[in-house]
């Protein structure tokens, strides 16, 4: 009798091999994807590159803001009401600028967090940054500064002072980009679409604007909102007296520039900026970064630093100063009762 042997059918061998290969692929792809996710966590970004990109985004958004105003095709709508009941306006200038700015940044760095005031469901622009760093940046910041990509939050205000934009008060209008690292504002860009001026600064790097020579902390000229003022007048008079000069102006970006030496436009020269109603982080982050780079401060009315990560809300008001003792000013302010917190 012939010994019993196992006959392997060629089909069986093929199926067996395929199963084996599948199993190995499963193991390997698991290991590979976990390695890739480690790689992803280690992505980095250079803050000087982000500054140059932010400047480019603010300028490109600004072209749209200017064009829509010149063509008078604002298509003004209301997004709803602020907590205080003012109409929150939205125009084609806000939306077109958002599209330019958001996608330029997001297409260049898809893996960083970008928070814009506006949103849009249509397909975005296919633009990518040219990687050109302006000479004025290279000369003031000779070396880059690399940080982990996951520590970065970018805040975009595609059009600040929309209310004034609808009233054709052009000098108040800006486009803004801010880069925060671990919640701290480090790069700020405020662009003026109608003069073409771009104010920029990087904390610990450089800036193209500077504080004025002197400020009056005892009898200050205080710049405030003209369309979201709330009870700011009484608040300021309680701190500095009934004769305090109060300057109503539009735009959070404009009001920060009014503290500095910017000369592209006709700025009211203010000693401090105070805001008592609710405000969002895209309104104040760029100004905060610029003031911080110049040794100034932008805090809540209790003097607390603002964390530019997470939620967009800033319910604690704003006090912005440069070239003076910020903590001493906070002490002069009336108690802030968080009435705007939600």
Ligand X SMILES: Nc1ncnc2c1ncn2[C@@H]1O[C@H](COP(=O)(O)O)[C@@H](OP(=O)(O)O)[C@H]1O
Decide whether 213 or 266 has the Cβ nearer to ligand X.
266
Site for Mg ion contains 160 (CB under 5 A): yes
> Please, which residues have CB within 8 angstroms of residue 265's CB and are 6 or more apart in sequence?
171, 192, 195, 197
278 lies in the site for ligand X, by CB under 6 A: yes
Binding of ligand X at residue 160 (CB under 6 A)? yes
Binding residue for ligand X, selected from 162, 288, 300, 314, defined by CB under 6 A: 162
Q: Can residue 64 be called a binding residue for Mg ion (CB under 5 A)?
A: no
CA distance 273 to 213: 17
What, of ligand X, Mg ion, none, does residue 84 touch, CB below 5 to 8 Å by kind? ligand X
CB under 8 Å to 94, separation ≥6 — which residues? Answer: 117, 118, 158, 159, 162
The two most distant CA atoms of the chain are separated, in Å, by 121
- Least Å distance, CB 228 to ligand X, is 3
Instruction: For residues 199 and 210, give the distance between their C-alpha atoms in angstroms, rounded to a whole number.
Output: 10
- Which one of the spans 78-86, 288-296, 306-314, 320-328 is the region binding ligand X (CB under 6 A)? 78-86
Candidate ranges 30-38, 95-103, 204-212, 278-286; the one touching ligand X (CB under 6 A): 278-286
Per-residue contact string for residues 113-152; x = within reach of ligand X by CB under 6 A: ----x-----------------------------------
By the 8 A CB rule, do 249 and 266 touch?
Answer: no
CA distance 125 to 103: 6
Helix axis angle for 47-71 and 92-108, nearest 10°, is: 160
| Binding residues for ligand X (CB under 6 A) | 82-84, 117, 157, 160-162, 225, 227-228, 250-252, 277-280, 283
């Amino acid at each position: 009798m012939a010994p019993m042997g196992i006959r392997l059918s060629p089909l069986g061998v093929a199926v067996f091999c395929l199963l084996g290969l599948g199993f190995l692929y499963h193991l390997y792809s698991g290991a590979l994807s976990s390695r890739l996710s480690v790689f992803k966590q280690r992505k980095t970004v250079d803050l000087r590159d982000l500054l140059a990109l932010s400047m480019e985004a603010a300028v490109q958004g600004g072209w749209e803001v200017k064009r829509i105003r010149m063509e008078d095709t604002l298509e003004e709508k209301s997004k709803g009401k602020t907590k205080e009941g003012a109409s929150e306006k939205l125009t084609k200038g806000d939306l077109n600028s958002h599209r330019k700015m958001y996608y330029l940044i997001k297409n260049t760095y898809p893996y960083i967090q970008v928070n814009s005031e506006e949103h849009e469901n249509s397909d975005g622009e296919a633009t990518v940054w040219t990687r050109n760093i302006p000479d004025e940046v290279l000369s003031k910041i000779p070396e880059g500064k690399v940080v982990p990509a996951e520590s970065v939050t970018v805040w975009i205000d595609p059009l600040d002072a929309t209310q004034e934009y609808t009233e054709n008060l052009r000098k108040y209008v800006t486009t803004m980009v801010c880069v925060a690292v671990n919640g701290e504002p480090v790069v700020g860009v405020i662009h003026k679409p109608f003069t073409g001026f771009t104010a920029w600064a990087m904390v610990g790097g450089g800036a193209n604007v500077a504080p004025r020579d002197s400020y009056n902390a005892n009898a200050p000229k205080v710049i405030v909102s003209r369309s979201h003022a709330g009870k700011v007048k009484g608040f300021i008079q309680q701190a500095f007296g009934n004769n305090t000069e109060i300057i109503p102006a539009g735009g959070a970006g404009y009001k920060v520039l009014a503290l500095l030496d910017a000369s592209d436009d006709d700025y009211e020269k203010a000693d401090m900026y105070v805001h008592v109603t609710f405000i969002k982080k895209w309104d104040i982050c760029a100004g905060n970064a610029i003031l911080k780079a110049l040794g100034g401060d932008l805090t809540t009315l209790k003097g607390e630093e603002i964390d530019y990560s997470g939620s967009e809300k800033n319910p604690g008001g704003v006090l912005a100063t440069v070239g003076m003792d910020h903590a001493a000013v906070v002490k002069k302010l009336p108690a802030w009762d968080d009435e705007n917190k939600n």
